[in-house]
Structure 1
Amino acid sequence: MNDKEKKELRKRIITSAYAYKTRRKRLFYSISIAASVMVILSIGFYQYNFSKPSITEFAESSEGIEIESANDVQLFLSGDKKVAIQNNNSSIAYQTSGREVNIADSLGKRQEIVLDDPNEFNTLIVPYGKRSKIVLSDGTMVWLNSGSKLTYPVTFKGKNREVFLTGEAIFDVSHNAEHPFKVLSKGHTIEVLGTVFNVSNYPDDNNIKTVLKSGSVEISYKSDSFFKSEEKTKITPGTMAVYNKARPQVNTKDVEVENYFSWREGVLIFKNNNLKYIMKKIGRYYNVDVNFQESELENETFSGHLNLKDSIESVLTTLQGATDFKYKVAKNGSLIINKLENME
């Protein structure tokens, strides 16, 4: 082999070695980049799934948003945005995409709001004396009664559709067999697929009441049994489930369903209900405090219809025609209830 051939062979060897080394470096860099991407994605997945609070955690962390201090219906959006709706009755509807929400009141005023993030939670507060209807992004319709708060995702992700309720609401749930709908509260869960039901869960009540109009409902709650952590109760249409907050247990009974849904139409229906229960309903609806001067009056009963589209004076006059009480308005605006012969 002459010198020229030796030089050519050496050149090919060096070129091959360099190419092999370059391929190894590229492979190493590719593996490093891939590993870095996986780490970044893993961190992102962890942060999204573990840093983002559950709806229960979010609702409980926002308990500082007081129902009592609100004068208007308030919609809390992401990024500390808040919309006040100055009307007794309002309607709110989310687009399926979660990118826009439409708001209307009973006076015909409308507004459209573009949302920044469809993956966030929103909260709707309905103070005492107000009512509101909301259509969630899955098509579920919710009517919120006075003194209520609903926390919900702008769009539903994952297996379950979950909302968190304080107060009273009627749900007409959009059917989706693959994604059950759950109404959560402290220690209590209502699960449905597609149904119509009423839930009453005010903080100052001793019980959570669920009345089923159609479909099927399963109620889960924490057990006080040593042997199991959770109890479940299923109810059928025409049934009320009463959950005792102090002693975790559920009792069921048959009821006249419309008595628990009529407030949506501005009517209260009572059948042998006592005045204490009735006045609590009226007080919430008209946003007034009611004080009984004598406890005996609290147990007087009334049956009939009260039209809540009338003034509170007209409603109380209707009640007075069937019961033995008089009332007066105190300086602070509250109602003082007393017997006929004792009222000054």
Structure 2
Amino acid sequence: MQKKYIDIDDFLNSENYNEFIIQKSVKQQKRWEAYLKKFPDTKHAANQAKKIILGLGSMEDHTSLIEVPDVKLHNQFEETWNKYRGEKSKTVILKTSKYIYRGGIAAAAVIFLMISFSLVTNYVSNKNTIPEYFSVYVPTAEQSRLTLPDGTRVWVNSETEIKYSNQFNTKERDILLLGEAYFEVAHNDELPFYVTANGARIKVTGTKFNVKGYSNDSKVETVLVEGKVELSRVGDQSGSSIELSPGDKATLNLEDSKVSISREDVMDDVAWKDGRLVFRNIPLQEVCKTLERHFDAEIVLAGDAENLYNHPFTFTIENETLPMILEYLCKAAPLMYDTKYIDDDGEHGIEKIEYIVSAR
């Protein structure tokens, strides 16, 4: 194991180190004891990071669905960080590991909550002056729920980042979204709620809707469950927008800026927030992307599988494992899959499984 963990931030951002501290992993214990023995000059930074991780882990709220008020989060992070921060840290991104989440130690809204040091220390004093932004990031294979300052409730899917400013609900209600989230927006006619997602802009006053716009997708999907929303393209100077009605699903093609509207059972599109994934005639390539996010897995479509990228699948999953789902795909189409065990860092440590799907 080569020397690559020097400052506090290096240890904080290491999932392996978080697993060692939170889960007391025997495998990781041997690994880190050997590392610290080899590089004793890093022990101080490692110990400081350990105190921060344990400090964050001791926060209140103990389930993934607990809603945590934002000011409370800021105060808790500020208290822990100010207590242990190192003098080398100027703008620090805190990434509490998913192992805290899986251990049930901290609220899911805290998981991978990224807060810059300047925001944490100035949040209260500058709340109504200089706009500053913070973000909530939910990692692969996790989900979270939070309540915004205006009372809006948000369900956040895996690999999703949400950003908003400290002026939210005073001068504006603007959300930046990269990924997927379901919103139940608190009604306010005088202060419309905006979501900007990967090229699409959605305006609402009070409604329930889902937005899906990942950075590696060529489209943005907006599904309206209740109320009314207006959809437009970011940068469109014409002022034109499309109004959706409950039951509408709008798909914005980012390549040609065209919007298509379909009517369907929109509850299938929001089932993810209740722990289910519903696929209705979804192409294989898109199915695999969703499964990767849901299971924190790597799925490779190899060889002649490219000819089956657009093969549609219809199924629902709830408690099934990834191998069970891949078995189904192989029965429903001329596919087969194999597994390959790989090391996540080239050293002896946690093994990750790569699933290789190919045509048969």
> When the two structures are superposed, what TM-score results if normalisation uses the length of structure 1?
0.65
**Hey, what's the Cα distance between the residues in 1 that align with 2:264 and 2:14?**
33
Q: Quick check: which has more Rg, 1 or 2?
A: 1
Give the corresponding residue for 1:176.
188
Give the corresponding residue for 2:307.
296
Q: Which consecutive residues of structure 2, in runs of 5 or more, have no partner in the other structure?
A: 1-12, 19-51, 78-95, 111-119, 343-352
Secondary structure of the 1:170 match is strand
1:131-181 Cα distance to aligned partner (Å, 9 max, x none): 111111111111111111000234624453111000111111111122111
Q: Which consecutive residues of structure 1, in runs of 5 or more, have no partner in the other structure?
A: 1-68, 73-80
One of 298, 317, 325 as aligned partner of 1:306:
317
Residues 1:334 and 2:346 aligned together: no
Matches within 5 A, 1:62-81: none
Once the two structures are TM-superposed, the CA of residue 188 in structure 1 deviates from its matched residue by 2.5
AA aligned opposite 2:154? V
Give the corresponding residue for 1:317.
327
**Hey, what's the Cα distance between the residues in 2 that align with 1:106 and 1:201?**
26
Once the two structures are TM-superposed, the CA of residue 287 in structure 1 deviates from its matched residue by 1.9
**Hey, what's the Cα distance between the residues in 1 that align with 2:187 and 2:291?**
33
One of 69, 72, 77 as aligned partner of 1:94:
69
Matches within 5 A, 1:219-234: 219-222=231-234, 228-234=237-243
**Hey, what's the Cα distance between the residues in 1 that align with 2:267 and 2:326?**
22
Once the two structures are TM-superposed, the CA of residue 323 in structure 1 deviates from its matched residue by 3.0
1:131 and 1:143 in contact (8 A); partners too? yes
**Hey, what's the Cα distance between the residues in 1 that align with 2:106 and 2:234?**
43
1:297 and 1:338 in contact (8 A); partners too? no
Query: RMSD of aligned C-alpha atoms?
Result: 3.5
Matches within 5 A, 1:21-100: 89=64, 91-94=66-69
1:273 and 1:303 in contact (8 A); partners too? yes
Residues 1:117 and 2:123 aligned together: yes
Give the corresponding residue for 1:143.
155
Once the two structures are TM-superposed, the CA of residue 319 in structure 1 deviates from its matched residue by 3.2
Distance change in 2, residues 1:98/1:155 (3 Å): farther
Once the two structures are TM-superposed, the CA of residue 202 in structure 1 deviates from its matched residue by 0.6
Distance change in 2, residues 1:85/1:180 (3 Å): farther
1:98 and 1:137 in contact (8 A); partners too? no
> When the two structures are superposed, what TM-score results if normalisation uses the length of structure 2?
0.63
Identical-pair percentage: 27
Secondary structure of the 2:290 match is helix
AA aligned opposite 1:234? E
One of 189, 202, 218 as aligned partner of 2:201:
189
**Hey, what's the Cα distance between the residues in 2 that align with 1:156 and 1:106?**
31
Give the corresponding residue for 1:42.
none
Give the corresponding residue for 2:219.
207
Which moved further from structure 2: 147-156 or 137-146? 147-156
Secondary structure of the 1:318 match is helix
Give the corresponding residue for 2:248.
239
Which moved further from structure 2: 325-334 or 101-110? 101-110
AA aligned opposite 1:320? C
AA aligned opposite 2:284? L
Give the corresponding residue for 2:165.
153
Once the two structures are TM-superposed, the CA of residue 234 in structure 1 deviates from its matched residue by 0.8
**Hey, what's the Cα distance between the residues in 2 that align with 1:164 and 1:137?**
15
1:300-343 Cα distance to aligned partner (Å, 9 max, x none): 32222112x3322223233334333221122333221113x4xx
1:270-304 Cα distance to aligned partner (Å, 9 max, x none): 22222222111101111222222222222332222
**Hey, what's the Cα distance between the residues in 2 that align with 1:84 and 1:334?**
32
Once the two structures are TM-superposed, the CA of residue 100 in structure 1 deviates from its matched residue by 5.0
Once the two structures are TM-superposed, the CA of residue 88 in structure 1 deviates from its matched residue by 10
AA aligned opposite 2:224? L
Distance change in 2, residues 1:279/1:162 (3 Å): same
Secondary structure of the 1:314 match is helix
**Hey, what's the Cα distance between the residues in 2 that align with 1:184 and 1:197?**
14
Give the corresponding residue for 1:15.
none
Once the two structures are TM-superposed, the CA of residue 258 in structure 1 deviates from its matched residue by 1.3
**Hey, what's the Cα distance between the residues in 2 that align with 1:195 and 1:298?**
35
Distance change in 2, residues 1:98/1:327 (3 Å): closer
Give the corresponding residue for 2:269.
260
**Hey, what's the Cα distance between the residues in 1 that align with 2:166 and 2:76?**
9
1:75-125 Cα distance to aligned partner (Å, 9 max, x none): xxxxxx999789994645225899757999575534799985242422011
Structure with the largest fraction of strand = 1
Give the corresponding residue for 1:16.
none
AA aligned opposite 1:109? I
1:182 and 1:189 in contact (8 A); partners too? yes
Give the corresponding residue for 1:281.
290
1:256-280 Cα distance to aligned partner (Å, 9 max, x none): 2011101111211122222222111
Which moved further from structure 2: 317-326 or 269-278? 317-326
